[in-house]
Each structure stands twice: as structure tokens, then as C-alpha cells.
């Protein structure tokens, strides 16, 4: 009874109930994501302000007996109970302020994300034309640009073999899910069953399913995306670290071996903007080297898969009329006399031998040659189909199978196609040709735009990962060769 009376007295003196004593229906108004009033921190915080208060003397648990002893009870000074109640209210007020701060932070985060999504949605509807005059690009190009810009935002500053930051990872997943969701509504109708009416009329019942190219390629691209993120996640606790170009300290950017200073292995000038990987003076362990080789092979296979999907999607995109209008009248004008003479006179055409004779010195020269070969190929194909009065390239492509295989233009077009294929195989890092850029710019198919841009950014990420791993392997090999 004394305990009950004491509790009633404390309540009358201003005791405020803790959040844990509130009704369960009221919990939804105080809980916020990432913070709970029932956490251990909140209880410890309240106990700190009541049980260890300076206004009460410590009580020894072993001193309690059946008979009350005045020396075992804390002496209550005048105003002590009131001060304790005031302090309790102060603690609960601070606790409430913490909850309010968490609520405010969460609301601000939600508001910022909502504003960002509003901005992206507005640009999508306006076609990136902020004037609203309807002069913007089509939806397909807008979606393609959005995926490309998102990739640059998330991975543009990621130049090292390290896990992606949590904020960037969340942004990539959230916004890619939003951009890819349009593919859920791109369908095709197929007959599933047929019914015969009483009068003999046959009816076919149609049902919708995802379009074939999306149904095949989009799940594959999502899997490649997940695999690339997992490869980056595997480089958490590594034996190598990074330093800025020109730094003399091996522990720049990360704590390396104490007291070890050496000259950083210099890389080629074309990679001057990348941080330099550093390894211990004795080199990497065999386990670390095996892990690097395994992840390099995985990333290399992902790069090939993404590149194959991208090439297949680009091949299906219709060639714009603007590109066909710019083609010269003859393939010889595109290639030049020397290349044309070899392709025309050789009995057994070897594209590899031709590329070796050209002595291509830079990527710019290779890309220029690819543009010329591709233009000549479509010039010869157009001339091979000139007898047909068809203007659409889809019609020309369908009629190619009916063209005489012994026709000179058809033979030259096939040789140009094989030369272009060998050129892309020899230079896999080759940029997009003029035709590829023109296709992306004038494409109107939203599904193809999503698949092309998604595969293109994954191809670039996989290529970068392979290059970063090669840099670490090169530095490790150089350090171990210096030691021997």
C-alpha cells in the first residue's frame, strides 16, 4: 500500500508516463523509420535521469531486511520529490525532441525524393523541353538519356575497386526500377485458344504477354546488373589500396604498411585521371591474386554478354532515313582506292590480313575506319536492291534474301560486313559508330530504347571493372618482378 501511495503521490507531483506505458494504438503516432521508442537506448536514457539522480542517495540492495531501518532509506530533502519530477519531465521532453528530430529528418528525405521524382517525371513528359512548347525529344530518347545520366551520376565518380556506397546503390536500384517499369506495359497479343460458334464462325481469344525482345533480354540484363554489383561488393577488405597519381606515399587513400614508402608504379598517360593502385612491398598473396583473376574473368564474360545484347538490339532498330540520305553513291568513295582495290580483287578475302596491313595506330583511326566501312556496306546493299521500288529499309532488308548471291554489290556488302565485324572484335572498346548514334537519336521504340541504353551502361561498367582489375594485376606483377 505504501508503494501504491508513493506512486500516486509521484503522479500528482507531475510524473509523466513513458512512451512504453502508452496505449498500443498510440504507438503509430510516435514511431518513425529507423527509430523506435521501444529501443534500448530510450530506456537507458530515462533510467539515467531518474535512478542515478543527484537528488537521491544510493541504496544498497544487501542492506534491506524485514524490519525497516531508517538508515537504509534515502533521506528526502525539502523539494527533492518535486525536483525529481521536474527532471523526469525534462528527460521526457528531450526524448520527445529526439523523436521529433527523427520525424523531421525522415520527412525531409521523403520530400527531397518526391521532388526528385517529380522533376524526372516532368522531364519525361516534356521531352526535356523545359519551355513546354512541344519541341522536345520523343519519349524513347528521353528514357534512354535518363538511364545514361543515372549511370553517370551513380558510377561516374566510382573509379576504384570498392563496394558502391549505400546512397548510390539505393539511388541506382530505386530509379532504375522506376525507369524499367515502363517495360511492364509493353506487351504483344497472341492467340491462346479458338472457339467455334453455332453458326460455324471460328473465334480466336487473344491474350497479352511481354514483348518477345523484352521478355528475353530484360531479365538477363537485370541478372548482369546484380552480378556486377556483387563483384564490386567482393572488394571490401583488400590487400591493395589506392593513391593519387604522383603521390610518394603508399598509404595515400588508405593505411598501408607502417613506415613503408616507395615510388608508385606509373601507368600509361591515357589513364592519368585514375587513382593508382598500390600493393604491399612483397606483392599480393596467392589468394588475393586468384580472387582478382576470377573476378576479372567474370566481369569479362558479363561484358561480352552485355555487348552481344546491345549489338542485337541496335541491329533491330530501324535505320533512319536521314542516315540513308547521307550515304554516297558508291562504296569506293567511302573506303578509298587502296582498301576498295583489295576487297574487290582478292579471290579469298581476309579481313584480318587487311587490318594488319592498315597499321591502325589509335582508337580514333579505328572508329573512322568503322564509319567508312559501315557506310560502304549499306551503300552496296542499297544498290543491290535498287531494282525493287521499295523505299523503306525494312522492305530492303526483307528482300536481301531474294538478291542474287553472285551480284557484285552483294559480295562487296558481305565483305564490308565481315571487315566491320573483325574490326569490332580487334578493338572491343571501340566507341559507337555514326550509324549507332543516329539510330539511338532517331529511335521511337521505347522498349528498344530501354534495352539498348541499359545494356550499353552495363557494358561500360563491366569494361571498367576489367580495366581496374588489370591495373591492380599489373602493379602487383611489377612489384614482384622488382623484388626478384
pTM of the model: 0.69
Asked, for residue 280, whether it belongs to a domain, the answer is yes
Mean pLDDT within 443-453: 96
**Residue 60 in 3-state DSSP?**
coil
Burial profile 280-314: b = 16 or more Cβ within 10 angstroms, e = fewer: beebbeeebbebbeebbebbbebbebbbebbbebb
What is the predicted pLDDT for the residue at 256?
A: 42
Asked, for residue 320, whether it belongs to a domain, the answer is yes
Lowest mean pLDDT among 193-197, 279-283, 375-379, 465-469: 193-197
Check: CB of residue 35 under 8 Å from CB of residue 19.
Answer: no
Check: CB of residue 163 under 8 Å from CB of residue 236.
Answer: yes
Asked, for residue 12, whether it belongs to a domain, the answer is no
Check: CB of residue 453 under 8 Å from CB of residue 148.
Answer: yes
Asked, for residue 225, whether it belongs to a domain, the answer is no
Instruction: Decide which of 179 and 272 is more confident.
Output: 179
Asked, for residue 251, whether it belongs to a domain, the answer is no
Per-residue pLDDT tens digits for 322-358: 999 999 888 888 898 889 988 888 778 898 988 988 8
Most confident of 11-20, 251-260, 423-432: 423-432
Per-residue pLDDT tens digits for 109-131: 777 777 877 777 777 777 777 77
Mean residue pLDDT across the chain: 76
Give residue for cell 514511431: 31
Instruction: Decide which of 170 and 113 is more confident.
Output: 170
C-alpha to C-alpha distance for 450 and 213, rounded to whole angstroms: 11
- Please give the tally of structural domains in the chain: 1
C-alpha to C-alpha distance for 78 and 85, rounded to whole angstroms: 13
Give residue for cell 563483384: 231
DSSP 157: T
Lowest mean pLDDT among 41-55, 136-150, 185-199, 466-480: 41-55
pLDDT tier at 50, thresholds 50, 70, 90: very low
Helix, strand, coil share (%) of the chain residues, nearest 5: 65, 5, 30
CATH number of 298's domain: 1.20.58.1310
Q: Is the pLDDT of residue 378 over 50?
A: yes
Q: Is the pLDDT of residue 317 over 90?
A: yes
C-alpha to C-alpha distance for 479 and 483, rounded to whole angstroms: 6
Asked, for residue 126, whether it belongs to a domain, the answer is no
Check: CB of residue 56 under 8 Å from CB of residue 84.
Answer: yes
Asked, for residue 479, whether it belongs to a domain, the answer is yes
Mean pLDDT within 21-40: 40
What is the predicted pLDDT for the residue at 24?
A: 42
Per the structure, the complete domain to which residue 456 belongs is given by 272-388+398-483
Lowest mean pLDDT among 9-23, 152-166, 274-288, 446-460: 9-23
Which residues make Cβ contacts (< 8 Å) with residue 312, sequence separation at least 6?
A: 217
* Secondary element (H or E) of residue 192: strand 187-196
In the Cβ-directed half-sphere of 314, how many Cα atoms lie within 13 Å? 20
Asked, for residue 346, whether it belongs to a domain, the answer is yes
What is the predicted pLDDT for the residue at 441?
A: 93
Amino acid at each position: 500500500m505504501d508503494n501504491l501511495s508513493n506512486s500516486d503521490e509521484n503522479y500528482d507531483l507531475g510524473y509523466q508516463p513513458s512512451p512504453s506505458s502508452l496505449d498500443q494504438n498510440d504507438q503509430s503516432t510516435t514511431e518513425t523509420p529507423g527509430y523506435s521508442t521501444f529501443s534500448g537506448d530510450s530506456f537507458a536514457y530515462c533510467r539515467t535521469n531518474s535512478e542515478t539522480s543527484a537528488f537521491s542517495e544510493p541504496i544498497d540492495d544487501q542492506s534491506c531486511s524485514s524490519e525497516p531501518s531508517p538508515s537504509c532509506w534515502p533521506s528526502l530533502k525539502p523539494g527533492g520529490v518535486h525536483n525529481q519530477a521536474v527532471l523526469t519531465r525534462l528527460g521526457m521532453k528531450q526524448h520527445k525532441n529526439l523523436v521529433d528530430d527523427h520525424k523531421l529528418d525522415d520527412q525531409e528525405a521523403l520530400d527531397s525524393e518526391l521532388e526528385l521524382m517529380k522533376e524526372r517525371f516532368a522531364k519525361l513528359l516534356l521531352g526535356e523541353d523545359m519551355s513546354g512548347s512541344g519541341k522536345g525529344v520523343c519519349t524513347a530518347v528521353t528514357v534512354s538519356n535518363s538511364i545514361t545520366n543515372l549511370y553517370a551520376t551513380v558510377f561516374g565518380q566510382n573509379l576504384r575497386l570498392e563496394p558502391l556506397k549505400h546512397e548510390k546503390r539505393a539511388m541506382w536500384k530505386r530509379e532504375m526500377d522506376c525507369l524499367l517499369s515502363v517495360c511492364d506495359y509493353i506487351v504483344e497479343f497472341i492467340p491462346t485458344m479458338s472457339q467455334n460458334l453455332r453458326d460455324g464462325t471460328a473465334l480466336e481469344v487473344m491474350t497479352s504477354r511481354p514483348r518477345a525482345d523484352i521478355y528475353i533480354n530484360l531479365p538477363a540484363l537485370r541478372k548482369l546488373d546484380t552480378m556486377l554489383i556483387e563483384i564490386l561488393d567482393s572488394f571490401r577488405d583488400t590487400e591493395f589500396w589506392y593513391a593519387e597519381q604522383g603521390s610518394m606515399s603508399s598509404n595515400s587513400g588508405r593505411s598501408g604498411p607502417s613506415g613503408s614508402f616507395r615510388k608508385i608504379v606509373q601507368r600509361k598517360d591515357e589513364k592519368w585521371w585514375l587513382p593508382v593502385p598500390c600493393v604491399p612491398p612483397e606483392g599480393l598473396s596467392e589468394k588475393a591474386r586468384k580472387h582478382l583473376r576470377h573476378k576479372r574473368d567474370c566481369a569479362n564474360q558479363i561484358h561480352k554478354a552485355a555487348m552481344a545484347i546491345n549489338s542485337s538490339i541496335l541491329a533491330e532498330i530501324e535505320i533512319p532515313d536521314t542516315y540513308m540520305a547521307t550515304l554516297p553513291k558508291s562504296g569506293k568513295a567511302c573506303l578509298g582506292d587502296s582498301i576498295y582495290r583489295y576487297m574487290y580483287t582478292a579471290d579469298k578475302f581476309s579481313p584480318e590480313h587487311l587490318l594488319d596491313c592498315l597499321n591502325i595506330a589509335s582508337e580514333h583511326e579505328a572508329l573512322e575506319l568503322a564509319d567508312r566501312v559501315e557506310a560502304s556496306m549499306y551503300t552496296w546493299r542499297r544498290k543491290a536492291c535498287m531494282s525493287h521500288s521499295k523505299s523503306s529499309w525494312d522492305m530492303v532488308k526483307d528482300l536481301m534474301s531474294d538478291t542474287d548471291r553472285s551480284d557484285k554489290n552483294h559480295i562487296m556488302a558481305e565483305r564490308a560486313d565481315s571487315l566491320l565485324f573483325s574490326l569490332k572484335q580487334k578493338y572491343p572498346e571501340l566507341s559507337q559508330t555514326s550509324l549507332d548514334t543516329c539510330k539511338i537519336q532517331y529511335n521511337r521504340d521505347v522498349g528498344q530504347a530501354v534495352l539498348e541504353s541499359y545494356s550499353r551502361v552495363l557494358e561500360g561498367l563491366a569494361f571498367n571493372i576489367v580495366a581496374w582489375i588489370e591495373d591492380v594485376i599489373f602493379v602487383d606483377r611489377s612489384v614482384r618482378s622488382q623484388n626478384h
